[in-house]
Amino acid sequence: EIEFAMSQEEILNYQSTFLDHSLQYVKGGGKDDNGDEQSPTRSPLGQHSQKQKQSFIPVNKAVTIFSNSGLGRETLGRIWDVVLPHSKAAKLDEVDFTLMMHLIVCSSRKGLDVPKRLPRSLRIWREEHKLDVDTDSTNRHRHTLPEYEQTVKSSMEKRMQTMEQEIESLKKLVLSLQKEIRFLKGNAESSIRKSDVGGSLVG
């Protein structure tokens, strides 16, 4: 699953796209005439300072952004099911938008197959950053990803160890084959010499 790991640069790019298209609503703010939460607005920073704000992208706008990848609706639908299984959400927060973007990039640019479920490194990243979902994404500190990066590093180290073991096994196999080739070559040369001697005696 290491091929699905996100780099810090990728995360910042996804976050930048999110901020370019996101709206905000005030959580715990006033109600409209129907008793629902206030409608989304592009509120300037600092407004509603005593109330929590959340940023999101409406699904219809997110679908437009995702479609620019060139992936078909069926593939985008499978990615949606991986990130948001059984969800009919009308909006995406920064975390889910980032995961959607990353799997889309993995499929459209890196040629990776859509995974059947969210890879472990991405699940850890989501668990860490879903804790921040109620804070203002334009104000909070950019993720340092300590646990996520450690997980990726650990996975890479294990993969390197596995590759080193495979290389050692291949080296032993090569040596064994070389030894067998020398043995067969010696037998062949011996047979040729015996054949030559036998022919001389007959002559």
Higher pLDDT, 108 or 193: 108
For 37-51, 142-156, 166-180, which range has the lowest pLDDT when averaged over its residues?
Answer: 37-51
Question: What pLDDT is recorded for position 80?
Answer: 93
| pLDDT-based confidence at residue 170 (cuts at 50, 70, 90) | confident
Residue 3 near residue 109 (C-beta atoms within 8 A): no
- At residue 72, the pLDDT reads 92
Would you state the pLDDT for residue 145? 46
| Alpha carbons 122 and 11: distance in angstroms, whole number | 11
**pLDDT value for 161:** 76
Tokens 């699904």 correspond to 59
> Where are any strands of DSSP class E within 16-150?
23-27, 52-58, 91-92
Quick one: tokens of 170? 């291949």
Give residues with Cβ within 8 angstroms of 19, minimum separation 6.
55, 137, 138
| pLDDT tens sequence across 91-130 | 899 999 999 999 999 999 999 999 999 999 899 999 888 7
Q: Name the nearest CA neighbour of 71 among 48, 40, 100.
A: 100
Tell me the CA distances in angstroms from 82 to 99, 102, 123, one per residue in order. Answer: 10, 12, 11
Question: What integer pLDDT is reported at residue 26 of this predicted model?
Answer: 53
